[in-house]
Structure 1
C-alpha cells in the first residue's frame, strides 16, 4: 500500500503485542497472540479502516488524473466524481465503456491484494442509467462479476431513486414512527417515561431525512399528530383519551410552560441550516463546489433565488440558508474580503451593516481600506471621515494583528459556531418567547418549583399538569364535553331546519356516549335545554 517499513512495524507492534483469552463455559481457558488483524470493536479498528479507505481512494484519484476513470459531473464546471466513501459503503461512478470497467476492476483487485480482504460480490450491486442497453448491462455485469442490480429499495431509510413526488420519498417516515409508538406504548410507561421516549427516540427517527431534505408541512403535522394522539395522550392503540394541551404549547421550553417537545418543522430548518453553514464556511469542500457550480454560477450563494427547476434537495439548502442569514455576520480579520458598505461586520452580537448615503467612489471599499497598513489597527482618521457616528462602535472591534483571514460567524452564541441546538432555540425564541407573558415569567419559576424539585419524574409531570389545569377533573371534563356537544349541535343545526329534531337526533346518537364514558362525573348540560322544551332530549 506504499507505507514505509518503519510505520508498518509500529502498527504491527500495536496489533501483535495484545494477547487474547477465550471464555468457554464461563471459564477463561488458554490465550493467543494475534499475528494479523484485530478484534471487532478494537480502538485501532477505525484508523486501520481509514488507512485502507485512503489507499482505495488514492488509486481512484490517480486513475482520474490519468483519464482512465474519468467519473461524472453534475454541471459543466462542477468537479468530476468517480467515487464516494460513506461509513462502510463505497460508491463508484464510471462510464459504461469497456476501458472504464476494466480500470475499476483492476483497482478493486489491487485493493484486495494489498488489504488481503475480498470484496463480496453478493452484497454489491450495480445501478445503470436509463440509456444503457440490455447488452451493455450484461457485459458490465460479466466484467465486474456482479449480478445484482441496485436502485430499488431504501438506503438509510430513504428511497435510493426518487423523482419530484415528495410523498413517495417520505411516505414511510410516519409509518415507522407509528409502529415504534405502538411498540413503546405497549410497555405501559408512565407519562415521565413517555416524555423520555418521545424526546430521545420518536422525535429523532426522521433526523437523517431532515438533514437532507425539507419535510412537507402536511407531513410534519402528521408526525405531530402521531406523537401526541398515538403516544403521549393515548395509553394504547385501542384506548383513546382527550388531548388536553395543544402541540404548540407542548413544544415550548420547560421554563415557559411547555414540556420541551421537539418541533419537527423548526428542527428540520435548523438541520438544513447546517448544510448552508458548511457551504458558506468551507466553499472548497466537494459538496460546496458541486452545488455552487450547478446552482450558483451567476450569483453568490447568500443572494441566489429559488428556481422552479431546482431539485427538492437544493430547495432545502436554500431554506436552511434563509435561517442562517438571520444571525450570520462577519468577523474582521485582515479586512480584505469584507465589503465596507454591504457586509454585516459592525457587531458581534447581531448582523449589522453600515447604513447611509453611498457614493460611487465608496461602493467598492473594503474594511482593509480603513485599517493601517503596517499595524493592522483601525485608521481613526479614515473612520472619522467615513463613519463619524459609528466611531465608538467600530473601535470596540479588534482586527487581527497577525493577518488572519476574515471569517463568518453565527452570532447567536458567544462561540460564533453554528450548532443545531443554538439555531433551534433561536427559532423557538422567535415564535414562542414572543408570546411569553413577562409577569408570569417573573412570578413563577418552572425549574425551581417543578422540574428541579426533589421528586420522581412522574410527580414532576403531574405537577406540570396541575399548574396547567389539564387534569381530568369534573369541571374540566364538563368543559370538554360541552365544547364537543356544542360543535356537534352547530353542525346538526346547519344540516337540519328543525332545532328540536336536531337535539333529538343528537340524543339518539351521543346519549350512550355521555352515560358510558362519564360514570363518575355526572354532566349537567343545562345550557343546552334552552334549545328544547323537553329535558329528556338532553
Structure 2
C-alpha cells in the first residue's frame, strides 16, 4: 500500500485491523483459545464479461508487483451463475486459466451461495442430524441419555445455520421427525407408537412437556436490521419523533404499528440496550423462545398452565432420583404410558 501511494496513517489503520483480529472456540459452552489468523481467503465478484475479468487480472497484477506476493493459481477457482452461456464460460475460464466449480465450497461451515432452492442448499443439516443419530444405538441409552443427546448435540446442529438463514419449514419438520423417531426407538422400516405428541413434548417441563426446541418457531425473524443497530436510527433527529418511513420499511406492519405507538422522551437520553422481560436487563434467546411459545398459545386460545400445575411439574423434575424414575413419573402423570387405554386412543 505504501508503494501504491497510500498515506502511512491509512496503512497503519488497515494493518491494525488485520493484526488485532482473534478468534475463540466454544468448548463445552465456554470460549477457549486465542487464535490469530495467519492467512486470508478472498471472494471477488464481477459480471460475466471479458473486459471485467481483464480488469481484475490487471488489479491483481499490480497487487503482486506492489506486495511481492503471488496469486496461487492452483487454489483459485471460478464460479458462474446458471444464466451464463457455455461459450462465454469457456472464454473467461481460458482467459483466467483457473478451473470452474459447479457448487461453491462452504465458508465457515455454511454454503457460500444459496439459490432459490434454499431447501437443497441447506439439506446437509438434515444429513448431519441423521448421521449423528445413526451413530448411537437407542437400546444402549436410557430416556435421560436420549434427552441429553437430542438437546445438547442434535438440536444444536441447526443453530449456527439458523443464525444466518431462515430455514424452510419443511426442513425443520423433517429434522423434528428424525428426532421424534429416535426418541420413540424407531429405526428403519420398523414402526413405533408415539405415545405423546411432539407438540406437547416441545413445551417446557413446568408445563407438562420435556423442553425440546420447536425449530419452526425459532426461524421467525422480527426485522431485517443488523444486530449492531441502535435505537437512534428509529428516531428522526430533527423532529425527535419516530422515523416512520424507516420503521415501516424494516418491520412487519403489526410490529411497526406497536413501535410508533410508544411515547418518546422530549429530552435526549443515552442509547443503551435494555430487555425489560429479564431482571438483569439482558436479552437472551432462551427467553425469546419462551415468549414466542406464550404468544402462540394466546393466539390459539390454548389452556394456560396455572402456577399450581407449574409447581407440581417442577417438583417432579426436582426429585432426588435417577433420571429414568423421573421420566417414568412424567409418563404416568402425563398419561403417556404404553397402556391399552392409550393404544385405543
Whether the TM-score (by the shorter chain) exceeds 0.5 is yes
C-alpha distance in 2 between matches for 1:112 and 1:455: 68
Give the structure 1 partner of residue 295 of structure 2. Answer: 430
Q: How far did 1:322 drift? A: 4.3
C-alpha distance in 2 between matches for 1:185 and 1:209: 27
8 Å Cα contact 1:257/1:446 also seen in 2: yes
Q: Does 1:181 align with 2:181?
A: no
Q: Does 1:344 align with 2:262?
A: yes
8 Å Cα contact 1:266/1:427 also seen in 2: yes
Unmatched 5+ stretches in structure 1 = 12-41, 54-87, 142-146, 285-298, 305-317, 330-341, 347-366, 372-398, 484-538
Deviations 1:17-51 (A, max 9, x none): xxxxxxxxxxxxxxxxxxxxxxxxx95642xx2xx
Unmatched 5+ stretches in structure 2 = 2-7, 20-31, 234-243
Q: Does 1:477 align with 2:340?
A: yes
8 Å Cα contact 1:273/1:323 also seen in 2: no
Higher relative contact order (CA 8 A, sep 6+): 2
8 Å Cα contact 1:191/1:461 also seen in 2: yes
Deviations 1:169-198 (A, max 9, x none): 344433332232222346721111111111
Q: How far did 1:220 drift? A: 2.5
Give the structure 1 partner of residue 199 of structure 2. Answer: 248
The root-mean-square deviation of aligned C-alpha atoms, in Å, is 4.1
C-alpha distance in 2 between matches for 1:415 and 1:108: 53
8 Å Cα contact 1:94/1:101 also seen in 2: no
Q: Does 1:463 align with 2:326?
A: no
C-alpha distance in 2 between matches for 1:210 and 1:158: 10
Give the structure 1 partner of residue 74 of structure 2. Answer: 122
Give the structure 1 partner of residue 26 of structure 2. Answer: none
Give the structure 1 partner of residue 63 of structure 2. Answer: 107
Q: Does 1:225 align with 2:170?
A: no
Q: Does 1:201 align with 2:153?
A: yes
2:277 to 407, 412, 419: 412
C-alpha distance in 2 between matches for 1:274 and 1:422: 18
SS in 2 for 1:90: coil
Q: How far did 1:266 drift? A: 1.2
Q: Does 1:266 align with 2:266?
A: no
C-alpha distance in 2 between matches for 1:430 and 1:268: 15
| CA distance 1:186–1:247, change in 2 (3 Å) | closer
SS in 2 for 1:245: coil
8 Å Cα contact 1:185/1:235 also seen in 2: no
1:192 to 144, 150, 161: 144
1:421 to 259, 283, 286: 286
SS in 1 for 2:121: helix
C-alpha distance in 2 between matches for 1:110 and 1:226: 55
C-alpha distance in 2 between matches for 1:439 and 1:104: 67
Give the structure 1 partner of residue 22 of structure 2. Answer: none
C-alpha distance in 2 between matches for 1:109 and 1:425: 57
Alignment of 1:31-430 (within 5 A): 45-46=35-36, 49=37, 89-94=41-46, 96-107=52-63, 113=69, 121-128=73-80, 130=84, 132-141=88-97, 147-155=98-106, 159-185=111-137, 188-229=140-181, 231-234=182-185, 236-237=187-188, 239-269=190-220, 272-273=221-222, 276=225, 278=227, 280-281=229-230, 300-304=245-249, 321-322=251-252, 325=255, 342=260, 344-345=262-263, 367-368=265-266, 371=267, 400=269, 404=270, 406=271, 410-430=275-295
C-alpha distance in 2 between matches for 1:277 and 1:458: 44
Q: Which has the larger radius of gyration?
A: 1
| CA distance 1:451–1:324, change in 2 (3 Å) | farther
Deviations 1:131-174 (A, max 9, x none): 65522321123xxxxx2323515525655444323443344433
SS in 1 for 2:42: strand
C-alpha distance in 1 between matches for 2:42 and 2:184: 44
Q: How far did 1:440 drift? A: 4.4
Deviations 1:212-261 (A, max 9, x none): 333333332222222102x1111544543211111111111111111110
Give the structure 1 partner of residue 239 of structure 2. Answer: none
| CA distance 1:260–1:412, change in 2 (3 Å) | same
2:309 to 415, 435, 441: 441
* Residue-pair matches, total: 300
8 Å Cα contact 2:143/2:324 also seen in 1: yes
C-alpha distance in 2 between matches for 1:267 and 1:212: 12
SS in 1 for 2:120: helix
Deviations 1:373-409 (A, max 9, x none): xxxxxxxxxxxxxxxxxxxxxxxxxx64xxx3x4675
Deviations 1:95-116 (A, max 9, x none): 6342332213443676675xxx
